[in-house]
Each structure stands twice: as structure tokens, then as C-alpha cells.
Amino acid sequence: MARHNEFGKEAETIASEYLRQKGYDVLTTNWRFGKAEIDIIARKDNILVIVEVKARTSDYFGEPESFVNRKKIKLLTEAANEYVIRNNLDMEVRFDIISILKNRYKEEIEHIENAFYWF
């Protein structure tokens, strides 16, 4: 597996553990629908949380969360809608980003709730 793929999987593991520590129930990871993949689907209280994990080793080109574009948002919302329908869920859905900046000097995690409202 390429190093960037390994780093991406590591970041998703870090994000899942972070969510668990914050009281979220991680329902599934890497859920696919069509061309979309939802990194993490979690639940807290009666809210279904769709989480996009973005990780970088440097913020030289911008913060990790700045790499979520409109096309990605569209794919994630379509996939989340399908997940809700398939599982016959009746709950609020929220879209979050977990941004991870990790290198040999530091590890920073930022959890941005309702992330797509600021796009």
C-alpha cells in the first residue's frame, strides 16, 4: 500500500478513536455508494453524523479541511441520503469534518461540526 494510503487509513483510525472518546457511537467506516465514500458514520444522541476526514503532514498549501470541495460535498450528501433510506432512519443528519495535521513534530486534530454550512 502506498504511504499516502497508509497515512489516510491511520488518520481515519485516529478520527474514529477521537469520536469514541467524545461519546460518539461509530456505526461504520468507509461506507460506499456510487462514486462516494463516507469516511465515518457515527451517532451521538439522535443525530447521525457523516464525517469526512482530511489529513495532511503540512499546512503549507492550506488547512486540511480546505480540500473539501463542492463536488465532494455533493457526493457525501447523496451517499448520506442513501444510507438514511437503506437503514430506514428518522433522525437529524449532520456533516462534520475532522481535520488532522500530523507529522513527526506534532499531531493536531480539529473537529468541525456542521462543516458544510461555512462553504
Look up residue 116 and give its three cell numbers: 458544510
- Residue 92: what pLDDT? 94
Spatial CA neighbour of 94 closest among 108, 106, 112: 112
CA atoms within 13 A on the CB side of 3: 2
CATH topology of domain 3-118: Trna Endonuclease; Chain: A, domain 1 (3.40.1350)
The domain limits of the chain are 3-118
- Residue 105: what pLDDT? 72
Look up residue 21 and give its three cell numbers: 472518546
Cβ–Cβ contacts within 10 Å for residue 52, how many? 24
For the segment 24-41, the average pLDDT, to the nearest whole number, is 96
**For the whole model, what pTM was predicted?**
0.85
pLDDT at 5 over 90: no
3-state secondary structure of 99: strand
Look up residue 68 and give its three cell numbers: 473539501
Look up residue 80 and give its three cell numbers: 448520506
Q: How confident is the model at residue 66 (pLDDT cuts 50, 70, 90)?
A: low
Look up residue 74 and give its three cell numbers: 455533493
